[in-house]
Structure 1
Amino acid sequence: MLFRRKSYTINPDMYDTFNHFFHTFLLPNQLTHGASLVGRWVNESRTEIMAMWAYRDLADFEHVDAAIRESEHHQTAQNYRQTLPSLFENSSEDFMESTGNYSTSPYIVAVSGFIQNEAGQVLLVRNEHRSNTYEMPGGRVEPGESMKDAVAREVLEETGIHAEIGDMVGVYQNVTTGVLCLVYRGKWISGSATPNPGETIDAQFVELNETNVADWITREHFATRVFDAMNQGNVAYESYEVRPYRLLERVQG
């Protein structure tokens, strides 16, 4: 493993602003393109913030870094940064290698919702950090939260829709990023589809069928989840890799 230590010197008055910048722009873009955040720390006087990132090797870092710099989200972050010239005073980075494996990394548990309205249309969102595709709303499960509660919360946060969550339809393991996503069907209860700035740039109910899914959902592993949810069969399971996409296993019992 290769580790990158990134440090920022800041004015303590900019601490909350810098944290907002990190969580809104830097963190989602890094995770989307394959970096792993080991941890993030601040000193007692709040004048220095340090983050430690993990990569497979130098080639992996260079691949991730190039993808980030070419992304739309990176450009948005740069534009935001230009409006705050005092966001941080300076920054530095260096690289280190691990001397051994002293811990195991748990999987990230996420959920997603196949939410239909009374007309049978499906709720889709376009995320700020993944703007080249539509997808079903969803996100990470919070500590102490049930899966169904997590789906309902994420749907509401990303779209403004209150939904009744039903049965699970699929389990999807991203071996590359360590994300395990559970997909549930659900029904619209109330609310109008509205994007949430900072998370989604579009949210709408769409008339989907087996012939037009690819017109909306351009990432194959996201499209598969929609196809599975459309069918009323048994729960599906998939494991796959990304960058590039490669299906490892699929079972639909």
Structure 2
Amino acid sequence: MLYRRKTYKINRETLEEAVRREIKEETGLNVKLYGITGIYHNTTMNIVNIVFRGEAEDGEFSFQKDEVLEGKFVLLTKDNIEQFITYPQLKNRVLDAMNPQYLPYESFRLKPYELLERYEGKKEQ
């Protein structure tokens, strides 16, 4: 990532590529992404989180034991979410992803224009 003129730029990597790479690095899993379910801005720390919904395709689940105390898959529902997620800002993100209304998103290059990838905005049935 480069910092230029008060903006950040991901070097030659689309947002989807960056998300897939980070998930692979953090969990060992390759994922299929369906779309963006929310954008969340923490004004206290000036952090923007972009949340994608997807599913694991392959790989072996692992995590860095010096950074994570426990890692496992659980089926989250509206009824049990508070057993696993205690921070309200994280709970909202997961609830939004459970009932997704995908936002449109695209990555492109200029000079000449080239569309690299696009997600359509839609509500999942």
Structure 1 vs Structure 2 CA RMSD: 2.2
Please say if 1:186 is aligned against 2:54.
yes
Cα distance in structure 1, aligned partners of 2:81 and 2:34: 22
Matched to 1:189, the amino acid is E
Q: Percent identity?
A: 30
Question: Quick check: 1:223 aligned with 2:91?
Answer: yes
Structure exhibiting the larger radius of gyration computed from Cα positions: 1
Match of residue 155 from structure 1: 23
C-alpha distance in 1, partners of 2:92/2:61?
23
Residue 167 of structure 1, aligned match among 24, 27, 35: 35
Note the alpha carbon deviations across 1:134-159, whole angstroms, 9 max, x for none. xxxxxxx8443221112111211111
- 1:144 is aligned to 2:12: yes
Q: Is the 8 A contact 2:36 2:102 kept in 1?
A: no
Counterpart residue type for residue 188 of structure 1:
A
Structure 1: gaps spanning 5 or more residues: 1-103, 109-140, 236-253
> Could you say which structure has the higher helix fraction?
1
> CA 1:162–1:234 in structure 2 vs 1: closer, same or farther (change >3 Å)?
closer
Q: Which runs of 4+ in 1 moved over 2 A?
A: 141-145, 197-203, 232-235
Unpaired segments ≥5 residues, structure 2: 104-125
Greater relative contact order (CA < 8 Å, ≥ 6 in sequence): 2
| Alpha-carbon distance change, 157 to 196 in structure 1, aligned in 2, over 3 angstroms | same
Q: How far off its partner does 1:211 sit?
A: 1.1
TM-score of the superposed pair, with normalisation by structure 1: 0.36
